[in-house]
Structure 1
Amino acid sequence: MGDIRSNRVAEQMKKELGELLSQKIKDPRVGFVTVTDVEVTGDLQQAKIFISVLGSEEEKHETLVGLAKAKGFIRSEIGKRIRLRKTPEISFEFDEAFDYGNRIEKILRDLNN
């Protein structure tokens, strides 16, 4: 039962974060960010937000710094938009799945040639 609820909260957070990051965050360090996934613990206390950022490694790092600075604002906005007793603590991480998939695709292409 708790697993279904945490999945619903994660999906709602993902939707709200997409809108929030594109409209409300005005920090110039935050580049083009895509929220790829959100994992919420079963007790709804912590949320891990996986992001994908276009740009160089330095731009990715600056985006992560900008998001870390805006964490309080983002958390309060999510709290307003999603009615929960306690808004989960959030942390941002890069989603390595795309890079991993691209690397595998390149290896397979090289093997084909």
Structure 2
Amino acid sequence: MPRHHQRGPNRNSGADASQRQLRVGELVRHALAEILSQGAVHDPALEGHIITVPEVRMSPDLKLATIYVMPLGGGGLDAVVAALNHNKKFLRGEIARRINLKFAPDIRFRVDERFDEAERIEKLLRTPAVQQDIAHDTHDESDEEE
């Protein structure tokens, strides 16, 4: 029976990831969060930053981990991602030591843009035009109940 691989931009998203991808992604996320919280990476660009790791997406073959990071407060984003990418060989080795996989996945770091997107949506919802629509919809619903 042939295997069918989904192709497209969202093939590694959490919505269609296998249970195994999700589980291994969480293992990698926890291991990396522990490494960063212990201050094991000695890089001037990372010192003074608390880095959150909200998500790790694994490729279907578990050989590539895309790690989404965000420095607390959002400051120095580019410098932090560059420093993490510069130290990825060390980080990959540390992750491999902490989790039990047949192969240590290659890792790449990306900025987690969900916070920016959520803020953009919040701003849109607070605009006068949207507030007017919300008030209008609420008013219509109360008229229907009468």
TM-score by length of 1: 0.89
Unaligned runs of 5+ in 2: 1-16, 133-146
Provide the rounded CA distance (Å) in 2 between the counterparts of 1:26 and 1:107. 40
Percent identity over the alignment? 37
Aligned position for 2:55: 37
Structure-2 change in CA distance of 1:8 and 1:55 (3 Å): closer
Considering fraction of residues, name the structure with more helix. 1
Considering fraction of residues, name the structure with more strand. 1
Name which structure has the greater RCO, CA cutoff 8 Å, separation 6+.
1
- Quote how far apart the aligned CAs of 1:109 are: 1.2
Cα RMSD over matched residues?
1.6
Alignment of 1:17-36 (within 5 A): 17-23=32-38, 24-30=40-46, 31-36=49-54
Give 4+ residue runs of structure 1 displaced > 6 Å after superposition: none
Larger Rg: 2
Unaligned runs of 5+ in 1: none
Aligned length: 110
Alignment of 1:82-101 (within 5 A): 82-101=99-118
Describe the SS at the equivalent of 2:102.
Answer: coil
